[in-house]
Structures are given as C-alpha cells and as structure tokens.
C-alpha cells in the first residue's frame, strides 16, 4: 500500500509539532523517520496510524483519502515503544486479540492456527501460554509485532521499536525485522532517534527537525551528501572547524582541503573523527591532546585546537599517544558549508 502525506499539520495547544510535512512512501518500502526528540517524528507516525488526527493536510492510503478514517478501521498495525502488550492475556491471546474482535468472524480453531503461524514467524514457538510478564523485553517486542501483523495490516508502523531494549538485543532484532520485512513485503514506517538503527534498517531515511523534513534519501545519499550541518552532525560525530574558502580550497588554521563548488568566503568545515590525521610536525591545525579513550577498534583522541575548538579523532590501536602531547591535525576528508 502506497502512502502519501500531503502538507500535514499538527498543533498541540500552542505548540506546532508538525509543519506541513509532505512525504511519499512506496508500496513495500521500509522507511525510517529519524530525528531528535521533539522533531515531530512520533506525531507523524501517530497521524498515519489514526491515533492522532491531522489539523491540516491529507493522508492517502493508495487512492483512498484516509485522513478522517478512525484508527479502528484504518487497517494499520502499530507497535508501541513499550510494547503495550495486554498484561492479563497470554502471548497467544495477545496475538489473537485483533482477530477475535474483528468484524470478520473466525472460528477459534482458525485463530489458533494463525496464532501458531505468527509465533513461528517471530520465532517464539511454544511460548504462547506465557504471560507478557514472564518473557524478556526482546521477546515482548516480537509478540507486539506478531500481534500487529495478525490483523493483516496494510501498513506496519513502529514507534521506537527497539528504544527500550539493551544494545545487543537491539542489534539482533534490527536484522531480524529486516528479514521479516523482506519476507512479507509490507509497507513499513518506523520512528527512531538512533541514526545507526535508521541507516541499518531502512530503504529510505527521512530526517526531521522541529516538525519539518530536512532531508530524505537512501542511507547512502544522506550519509555521503548531507544537505546541511544539522543532518551531518545528527548522523554521527563530527568535528567543526571555522575557516575560509579561497578558490575552491577550504583553509582552517594550518589545515587545508579541496572544497569544489563552495563559494569563496567564511565557511564551516566538518570532518568525521576518522577523517582527521595526527602528526607530530606541521603543517596542520596545532592541537594538544587532553584525553585518550580506548575502544575495541581504535583509540579516540580528544584534543583542543590552538583556536580553542575541541577536536576528536581516531588513531590506530597501536599508536602510542598520551594526554598533554602537542601536534598537528590535518584533514583527509571533509564537508564544507559556506557561511556566507
């Protein structure tokens, strides 16, 4: 089912949470709404679900205007951040709930068969008689997904689906959700504030800020060509140096890098920690190491540039480097935005 949002607006009391958002989601696509808290991503998701009504604009499901269809009849599967499993029902009863309240009457045997099928899909065979309180967080989230899928939704909506789980479980569930999506091909939108999750999972990432879309595209597009400093910083750690562009080259302190197509004048230069090099002698931006953080794959160095700007960069695990050391930072790769 193709979904189209057309200039959708939502205001809570005096706060405008969503400012005229337009968005198209192709049938079968897996799309991430990514943004910091307060960016309106959950509100958009809830409006698509019908849990929140849009104050303006339209939401289309295929050719149908779904804007005013109540959630009950909208045919969406919604997965809540904190699962929202019915605590007094077993896992099987939770999954079967949508079918038992449906206008389409099914026999108990039919429902039981479908529940078994869904339990197998989410790899929870044999746990049907447990209560939500007796299973782990990751299992609960899978039950929530099975419950949402049980009503054969046209669209699957997930609100921070892995937000309440610990890092390892999140990682596994992400891969698993991707597999399920591949298997079922159902149009899916999920909300997250975790850029890694969005990039890992989605066909397309929609980045939001203060109720507006700032950029959308495939993970490759948004990573390789962030439109503005907000997107760049939101997608991952980045160093910011102020400098100047002259004849296609950006210069900051003693560091220099090509900046094709950027107008001459003052500019901001952004570089990821692994795109900075450290050497004992110049040229480069003079800096002093303040701290070294050891990580499994690299050593993260925190330094202070002579200009007072903080810098973070990664060096190989074998590299001997200690706090207090002075040296120079050069740019291997950077993104330059004109300040003019």
* Phi–psi pair at 144, nearest 5 degrees: -60, -40
Q: Is 69 in the site for another protein (CB under 8 A)?
A: no
Among 151, 251, 292, 304, binds another protein (CB under 8 A): 151
Q: Using CB under 8 A, which of the segments 48-56, 208-216, 279-287, 324-332 binds another protein?
A: 48-56
Q: Using CB under 8 A, which of the segments 71-79, 178-186, 203-211, 321-329 binds another protein?
A: 71-79
Alpha carbons 160 and 157: distance in angstroms, whole number: 10
CB of 335 to another protein, least distance (A): 20
CB of 183 to another protein, least distance (A): 22
Q: Is 217 in the site for another protein (CB under 8 A)?
A: no
Q: Is 91 in the site for another protein (CB under 8 A)?
A: no
CB of 85 to another protein, least distance (A): 7
CB of 325 to another protein, least distance (A): 27
Alpha carbons 229 and 238: distance in angstroms, whole number: 10
Among 10, 140, 174, 181, binds another protein (CB under 8 A): 140
Among 162, 190, 234, 328, binds another protein (CB under 8 A): 162
| Distance from the Cα of residue 77 to its chain's centroid | 19
Packing angle of the helix pair 108-121, 91-100 (nearest 10 deg):
120
Among 4, 114, 193, 249, binds another protein (CB under 8 A): 193
Alpha carbons 64 and 340: distance in angstroms, whole number: 45
Beta carbons within 10 angstroms of residue 50's beta carbon: 22
Among 85, 111, 287, 311, binds another protein (CB under 8 A): 85
Q: Please give the residue ranges that form the binding site for another protein (CB under 8 A).
A: 49-51, 71-74, 76-78, 80-88, 97-98, 101-103, 132-133, 137, 140, 147-148, 150-151, 162-167, 170, 193-194, 196
């Amino acid at each position: 089912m193709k979904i189209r949002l057309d200039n959708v607006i939502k205001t809570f009391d005096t706060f405008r949470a969503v400012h005229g958002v337009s968005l198209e989601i192709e049938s079968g696509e897996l799309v991430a709404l990514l943004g910091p808290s307060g960016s309106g991503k959950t509100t958009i998701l809830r409006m698509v679900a019908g849990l929140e009504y849009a104050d303006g604009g339209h939401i289309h499901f295929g050719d149908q205007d779904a804007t005013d269809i109540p959630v009950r009849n909208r045919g969406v599967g919604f997965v809540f951040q904190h699962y929202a499993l019915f605590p007094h029902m077993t896992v099987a009863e939770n999954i079967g709930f949508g079918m038992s309240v449906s206008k389409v009457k099914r026999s108990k045997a039919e429902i039981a068969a479908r529940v078994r099928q869904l339990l197998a899909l989410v790899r929870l065979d044999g746990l049907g008689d447990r209560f939500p309180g007796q299973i782990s967080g990751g299992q609960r989230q899978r039950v929530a997904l099975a419950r949402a899928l049980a009503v054969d939704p046209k669209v699957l909506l997930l609100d921070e689906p892995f937000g309440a789980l610990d890092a390892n479980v999140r990682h596994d569930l992400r891969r698993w959700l991707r597999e399920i999506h591949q298997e079922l091909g159902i149009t899916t939108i999920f909300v997250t504030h975790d850029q890694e999750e969005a990039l890992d999972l989605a066909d397309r990432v929609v980045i939001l800020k203060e109720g507006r879309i700032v950029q959308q595209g495939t993970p490759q597009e948004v990573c390789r060509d962030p439109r503005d400093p907000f997107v760049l910083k939101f997608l991952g750690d980045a160093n910011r140096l102020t400098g100047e562009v002259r004849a296609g080259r950006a210069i900051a302190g003693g560091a220099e890098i090509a900046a094709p197509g950027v107008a001459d004048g003052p500019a901001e230069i952004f570089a990821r920690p692994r795109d900075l090099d450290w050497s004992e002698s110049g040229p480069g931006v003079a800096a002093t190491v303040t701290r070294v953080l050891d990580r499994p794959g690299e050593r993260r160095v925190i330094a202070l540039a002579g200009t007072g700007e903080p810098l973070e960069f990664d060096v190989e695990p074998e590299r001997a480097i200690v706090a207090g050391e002075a040296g120079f930072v050069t740019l291997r790769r950077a993104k330059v935005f004109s300040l003019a």
